[in-house]
Chain A
Amino acid sequence: MGGHTSNYVPTSRWGKWMDERLPIARMMKNQFIDYPTPRNLNYLWTFGGILTLILVGQIATGVVLAMHYQPSATAAFDSIEQIRRDVNYGWMLRDFHSVGASMFFLAVFIHIFRGMYYGSYKAPREVLWILGVLIMLLMMATAFMGYTLPWGQMSFWGVTVITNLFSALDTIYNGLGTAIVEWLWGGYAVSGVTLNRFFSLHYLLPFILTAVVGLHIWALHIAGQNNPTGLDLKEPSDTVPMHPYATSKDAVGIFAFLLIYAWFVFFVPDYLGHADNYIEANPLVTPPHIVPEWYFLPFYAILRAFTSSFLGIPLGQYAKLCGVIAMFSAVIIIAFAPWLDTSRIRSAKYRPIFKWFFWFFVFTCVALGYLGSKPAEGVYVFAAQIFTVCYFLFFLAVMPIVGLIETPRRMPRSITEAVLGEGGGGLPSGAAAAPEKR
């Protein structure tokens, strides 16, 4: 992995024996103890650790929940209630898991916005970034299928609406969309068969997710971490060893985040969910508003912005198809950021124009989320169309153009200079042990 020399020395006989056969201790020491991390990382860089922890937590709670859950159309809803009421601490497991999905997305959105602000997607971190987008896609698929499992009204109708999106392909090739939808459902309607396969996939995907997270961390340790200045690591004094520096900071970030997580779990577990999901699924009764979970709302707003016309452009029978394409493109386009952004400066700290566009982009995403929760009518549709355009323009216009016309702020020559001021480069730092004694 990372390009620094190893100073792992096995001390026990067993350690030496193992080191010659499977040097896992050497790898751990090199990658997670001695690994050089930029000295100027702020708390936004703790979200990688936070996300890893949530992933592990989701799998742990999920495995136990699966021991009590029954994936069938007749028993699923009641089995969730049984978990809540009769399984020891089942209510806690269940709330940790369902709130955990929301916290996972909260953290991943902050993580992605951080990457965008500090230009973490630029060379040499393109593969790292693409793996990140893949992780988000897998998270979305997993969360979507997981939301089906309680088999409440919103579960059922959410699945019905979202799987039906594929029927838009009928407008390209007659029968193609319908075939795909029926293949997904395992029948001619959403039923217990659909629930069973979603449960199976909901159990499978997190492990694929874990594997991709492994690649993500691998790629991170090849390229090294970005940092708030966006500068490359140039001298040893730019870095500190991961342990105890980055680890102590990560620990603070993780526990502070857990505080928010615990607040939701113990005091407002229903807040991020929807009351209708406490009503058992009923194919004969459609809820008045079908709304996905909050983390899908920006994408849902983009989907619904394509009504029979889009900002005056008539779409006719292709409206649904356009919406579906736009919604998926909204995620996929993030993966192209490394090539859409023409600026060679990474950090928005030194990009006076981009910085403003970045914050407007954050506002755009929040606005789309708000609009996704509103009924698709009147002024909401118009606003959603405007913000959909803003969303895509950020990638297709702002990123390429601003990079060409912007004059960056004066930048320090190195991280060390950024931290210590000019001429302060020579101070010792780096991999010295027992730093607290200095």
Chain B
Amino acid sequence: MTRLKFFLPVILFMGLALLLWRGLYLDPKELPSVLIDKPMPAFALTTVDDESVSNADLPEQIFLLNVWGSYCLPCLIEHPTLMRLSEEGEIPVVGVNYRDEQDLALDWLDENGNPFAFSILDELGRFGIDLGVYGAPETYLVDAEGVIRYRHVSVLDETVWAQDFLPAIAELRAESGR
């Protein structure tokens, strides 16, 4: 008993040190999204091609919602991955053109290729606020019922796809029994 009392401060210290040590390696940029397990916010907007879109136009299967902009350099880094996913038909990708100018967005898609089923035009960032976006790139995983299930902040490359998205998608599929 006295032995335990003697070592108690050391044990407490080690616990605290371990906790803080772990804290050093957490990414402060990775904020949990409040919208996880909530339906995608209602919208009635236009695409970058001036077609009107609303929630009814979203794919009726699991899809990615990717927040991008022509000004956004990391978006170029993840672009090949998005292209591959959409070209190989692995998963549909819907874009949110966040705080951009329509002309520049269209030029960007022309120049680099368009992986998006469609891109929602959000020049004023109003839809981005409803999504809780704080900067491109961000990618949401949305299920067939239009419920947001996962969010990734910053670049979605092949590593992130394999490590984070594939397991999350497998889990969703297992859940819905498909």
Is the A/B pair a real complex? no
Residues of A near any B CB (own CB < 8 A): none
